[in-house]
A and B are shown apart, each in its own frame.
Chain A
Amino acid sequence: MRTSSSSRKRGADAERRARWFYRLRGYRILESNAWAGGHELDVIARRGRRLVFCEVKAKLGEGYGDPAEMVGEEKQRRLWRAAETWLVQHPELAGLEVRFDVVAVTPRGLVRVADAF
């Protein structure tokens, strides 16, 4: 599969905005674009005892749905597997409370669904 450079740039911009979204809310970004278990985790952030794995979606135009709609059953399974693998690689973080968020960056702004799945 080929990804055009403009859509890659759009994805990178969306991830940068998502990182700032979390930073401004007191989270520390532990890693971004982390590969684990054969899948990518876009943003991993921590605040206190809470660890957030965030899937970032960049959307052009108005025809987008709910961010939560963009992460279906198979994608959820992959993100779970990636997060589990990442946590095995970071045993010091194993006891933290884990949350999965979905962030959609659209022309109208950033929408976050916290604890999405």
Chain B
Amino acid sequence: MVVAGVLFDYETLRDHRVRPLTGLNDSKQLTKEEREGLFGAVVSCAQSFTVRVISPAEIDRNGLHRSNLEGMRSCLHSLAPPAEACLVDGFRLGPAAPEHLAVVDGDERSAAIAAASIVAKVVRDRAMRRMDALFPHYGFSSHVGYITPRHSAAVRERGPSEVHRRSFQALCYEDLVELEEARS
């Protein structure tokens, strides 16, 4: 899981510097290539940005939601200089996080959240492409983590790789005992 935070300095974001960010408007309709382009724009406009990559083992230990909140908390803490106002996509992070405002539908309503979402998605896509090179049979670069019939078939055939989370209870994991028996 990839979580990102972006810090903008609104004092210095003026005129030509802010123009590349106008493409953030409808981030969910962007193609992979357009996201890569915007990633460059965000990184050059932002005062600072931070990315947390949460391992499958950590998700197995803590669950998806808790790992996600912990990732966002850690992003807020690590932004330097500390942000004067923090916006978070969706859920509130509790008192352990710096003061923040949870925005429902954040990536449509806040440029900062949309920018952070671009950063997280691009880092995820790059990581999945690398994973695809390491474990070529699972199609990681095409489904980037969303379950597809082809991916389930690959897990059924080969079992999960070391980058799959073990706590996932999808049907394709149920045949693992048989698979282990057939191998031994």
A residues whose Cβ falls under 8 Å from a Cβ of B: 37, 65-69, 72-73, 76-77, 80-81, 84-85, 87-88, 94-95, 97-100, 111-117
Contacts and interface: CB of A to CB of B under 8 A. Distances in A.
B104 A114 contact: no
Contacts of B167: 115
A67 B63 contact: no
A77 B121 CA distance: 13
Contacts of B90: 80-81, 84
Contacts, number: 61
B92 interface: yes
Given A72-B146, A99-B64, A115-B167, A65 B152 contact: yes
A117 B170 contact: no
Nearest to B95: A95
A98 B91 contact: yes
Interface pairs A-B: 4 shortest CB-CB: A68-B147, A84-B90, A84-B104, A98-B65
B169 A69 contact: no
Nearest to B67: A115
A94 B90 CA distance: 11
Given A98-B91, A99-B63, A115-B64, 7 more contacts: A66-B149, A68-B147, A69-B149, A81-B105, A84-B90, A88-B104, A100-B64
Contacts of B94: 95
A100 B152 CA distance: 20
Interface residues of B, number: 23
Given A81-B105, A99-B64, A99-B65, A67 B92 contact: no
A97 B169 CA distance: 19
Contact of B66 (A69, A81, A94, A97): A97
A14 to B, nearest CB: 17
A72 B149 CA distance: 11
A85 B66 CA distance: 18
Contacts of B105: 37, 81, 84
A65 B149 contact: yes
7 contacts: A67-B170, A69-B149, A81-B104, A87-B91, A95-B94, A112-B169, A116-B168
Contact of A85 (B65, B104, B149, B172): B104
Interface string B140-151: 000000111100
Contacts of B152: 65-66, 69
Given A67-B171, A99-B65, A37 B147 contact: no
Contacts of A88: 104
Nearest to B149: A65
B28 interface: yes
Contacts of B171: 65-67, 111
Interface string B76-93: 000000000000001110
